[in-house]
Amino acid sequence: MQGQLREIVRNSVKEKLARGEVVASMTVRLVPTLHDTGLPGFDDVAWNGIVAPAGTPRDVLVRLHAEIARAVSNPEFRKRFLERGIEMVASASPEEFSAYVKSEAEDFVKLAREANIRAE
């Protein structure tokens, strides 16, 4: 399917817009990132994560992370997702993922303030 996705992008899209991530994805390299088209720093990607309740023992978090990272690095697992245009990547550690989630939340709070968006 990855080849089909490339063909669709190559042949069907008259004007390729751009992808939102800063780092080029393996799945749709034909479409430039917004960063490459003149919007430096623009980074908008879909992400998912598995979380545990606050207070979960560190050894449990480390074990969960190791098993998830092992699954995500499995070639058959990666292939199945890449066929659907999804590039799976595991964080380097539970702390790295926590920092990423915190950073994303802070970015959205800042954006809401700058745009004067308020909950009703």
Q: How does pLDDT run across 13-49, given as a tens digit for each residue?
A: 444 454 444 444 555 566 677 777 777 777 777 788 8
Q: What is the reported pLDDT for 34?
A: 73
Higher-confidence residue of 88 and 33: namely 88
Q: What is the reported pLDDT for 22?
A: 45
Q: Is 73 left (phi over 0), alpha (psi -120 to 50) or beta?
A: alpha
Amino acid symbol at 20: G
Q: How far is CA 31 from the centre of its chain?
A: 16
Q: What is the reported pLDDT for 68?
A: 93
Q: How far is CA 109 from the centre of its chain?
A: 19
Is residue 58's pLDDT more than 80?
A: yes
Higher-confidence residue of 98 and 10: namely 98
The mean per-residue pLDDT over the stretch 1-9 comes to 52
Cβ neighbour number for residue 88 with a 10 Å cutoff: 14
